[in-house]
Homo-oligomer: A and B are copies of this chain.
Amino acid sequence: MSATPLTDFSRLCVHTITTKPWSIEEATEKYAEAGVAGMTVWRQWLDGRDIAATGERIRAAGIDVVSLCRGGFFPATDPIDRATAIDDNLLAIDEAEALGAPLIVLVCGADPGQPLEASRDQILRGIEAVLPRCEETNIKLAIEPLHPMYADTRSAVNTLRTANDMCDKINHPLLGVTIDVYHLWWDPELKEQIERCGQAGRIFSYHVCDWRSPTEDMLNDRGLMGEGCIDNRLIRGWVEEQGFTGPIEVEIFSNRYWESDQNEFLEKIKQAYLDCT
């Protein structure tokens, strides 16, 4: 069943990459002015910053730090590269702790030089390798299944079913799933796999945007909610039927919007959030 329309911005979270031209300081100021309730911080936005102070600044502006994007990229044919990836994920956990982010989103990775099954196995082992640090810091990890068009290099986890299977295998309270409508909208099993994910208590975060027709760039042509063919309200309904009441995160990679006035873009996000999310 479709969700009821959103009437305020108390659950609106924006990813720093959505307003890519803005620094973390600019984004903090602008989001606060706009009444955005939450921010998901991409790691590049922390380059050269005092991470703990940045987290304090965001919270002082009245904004929740929802998650850190992104960990993952575990698979590699070379074991040295796999060890490097695990080290980088441990560093991400440290960054999340310093920032005060309770969750790291995992873009799990893939290596086109090996079978997907091998990449999936390396993802499992990578997650297992970093979970002890998660336990020490109480930072959660969310597997984000990515669209099958990214199966060659970005993620060997391409359906919610596969993400749920992986969570079942590891079965750890700090491991769950990020549901992103862009990656999953096409899947005939989506509703039942959202139910499965919810019943296991593993819906850790929820990302929205839209799929434009035609999509002109495989990475950076996402649409605002309502600009494409995704029924955002229906999918949000499925997620909320599972008891999810967390942030609704607007994650839009868009060359066309990044080239536009970011103040106007943020207003469009708010309108699309009310009208089409």
Contact = CB atoms under 8 A, between A and B. Distances in A.
Given A149-B148, A187-B148, A112 B213 contact: yes
A214 interface: yes
B112 A153 contact: no
Given A158-B186, A159-B188, A231-B115, A152 B213 contact: yes
A159 B187 CA distance: 9
Nearest to A212: B152
Interface residues of A, number: 28
Closest 3 pairs (CB-CB, A-B): A112-B229, A151-B186, A149-B149
Nearest to A115: B231
A192 to B, nearest CB: 13
B147 A162 contact: no
18 contacts: A112-B228, A115-B231, A115-B234, A120-B188, A147-B149, A148-B149, A148-B186, A149-B149, A149-B215, A151-B185, A152-B211, A152-B214, A152-B228, A152-B229, A153-B213, A159-B188, A215-B218, A218-B218
**Which secondary structure dominates chain A's binding surface?**
loop
Stoichiometry, as copies per complex, reads 2
A274 interface: no
Nearest to A159: B188
Nearest to A120: B188
Contacts of A218: 149, 215, 218
A113 B158 CA distance: 25
Nearest to A165: B188
Contacts of A151: 185-186
A116 interface: yes
Interface string A249-264: 0000000000000000
Interface in A109-164: 112-113, 115-116, 120, 147-149, 151-153, 158-159, 161-162
